[in-house]
């Protein structure tokens, strides 16, 4: 199964660049164009949060229009910059998938589990006993878990300060027992690690990245990207980083 993974679109309410210089709308369109140009089409697209920078209706309408032509299904996870009420109103089919903080997407083999860690007015995420109870109620099957806030440190102090909080030990125990991979966003950088022994991947933003080697939280216009996960349930999770800007392909001479 080929899963395209975008995150942190931060779509603006209008065509004005974010921070006066980041064309988040253009970056999304370029990322989708890159996906559509792949020889192997994704089976689905996952977007792990911060869809709109301020949760505006116009930003979500732009997202809906951009996703509508895709020939494969797509699924949305809210992030700390999103407005859940507006998101649910404009994407009713997506909203119907959720049962409390959890959504289960049944795939040809196994499932993709979406987890809402967003708390209104907070930049950090939260996992509590209600979350864990909802996860425990899911069927036992090969699964991937997707959430916006990473439940682990990424080595960038400003981002670690607003990572996921709460009962992370309980979440880790559940992840260790139930899933084959953890897919996150929020950090605006590609990060690969493990969480309680399970492979974990953080997707970059297609637009702006968080600066890695700065004392203060800052962004950079390093090239945007996305992840492609090749998942064989029960066998492996293989992840590739893909820049949104395509480059010429040169074949080796025989």
39-97 confidence digits (pLDDT tens): 999 999 999 999 999 889 999 999 999 999 999 999 999 999 999 999 999 999 999 99
How many domains are contained in the chain?
A: 1
Report if residue 132 sits inside a domain: yes
Residues 4 and 35: beta-carbon distance below 8 Å: yes
Classify 55 in phi/psi space as left (phi over 0), alpha (psi -120 to 50) or beta: left
**CATH number for the domain including 175?**
3.60.21.10
Domain extent for 50? 2-243
Question: Of all helices (H) and strands (E), which one includes residue 122?
Answer: none
Count Cβ atoms below 10 Å from residue 172 Cβ, excluding itself.
Answer: 18
In the sheet that holds 102-106, the strands lie side by side as 98-99, 102-106, 111-115, 143-147, 181-184, 198-202, 191-195
Report if residue 32 sits inside a domain: yes
Per-residue pLDDT at 96: 96
Report if residue 253 sits inside a domain: no
Per-residue pLDDT at 215: 87
Report if residue 143 sits inside a domain: yes
Distance CA 177, CA 198 (A): 9
Report if residue 248 sits inside a domain: no
Report if residue 213 sits inside a domain: yes
Report if residue 171 sits inside a domain: yes
- Dihedral sign for Cα 147, 139, 176, 111, please: negative
Residues of the chain with pLDDT under 70: none
């Amino acid at each position: 199964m080929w899963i395209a993974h975008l995150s942190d679109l931060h779509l603006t309410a209008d065509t004005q660049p974010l921070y006066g210089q980041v064309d988040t709308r253009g970056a999304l369109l370029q990322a989708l164009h890159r996906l559509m140009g792949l020889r192997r089409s994704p089976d689905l697209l996952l977007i792990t949060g911060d869809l709109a920078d301020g949760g505006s209706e116009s930003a979500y309408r732009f997202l809906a229009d951009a996703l509508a032509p895709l020939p494969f299904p797509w699924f949305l996870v809210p992030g700390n910059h999103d407005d859940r009420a507006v998101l649910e109103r404009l994407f009713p089919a997506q909203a119907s998938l959720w049962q409390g903080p959890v959504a289960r997407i049944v795939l040809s083999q196994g499932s993709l589990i979406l987890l809402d860690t967003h708390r209104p007015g907070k930049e950090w995420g939260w996992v509590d006993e209600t979350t864990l109870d909802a996860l425990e109620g899911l069927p036992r099957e090969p699964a991937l878990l997707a959430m916006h806030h990473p439940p682990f440190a990424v080595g960038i102090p400003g981002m670690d300060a607003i990572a996921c909080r709460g009962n992370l030990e309980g979440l880790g125990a559940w992840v260790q027992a139930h899933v084959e991979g953890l897919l996150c966003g929020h950090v605006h950088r590609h990060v690969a690690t493990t969480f309680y022994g399970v492979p974990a991947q953080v997707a970059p933003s297609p637009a702006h990245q968080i600066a890695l080697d700065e004392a203060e939280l800052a962004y950079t216009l390093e090239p945007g990207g996305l992840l492609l996960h090749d998942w064989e349930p029960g066998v492996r999770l293989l992840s590739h980083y893909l820049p949104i800007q395509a480059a010429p392909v040169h074949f080796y001479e025989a």
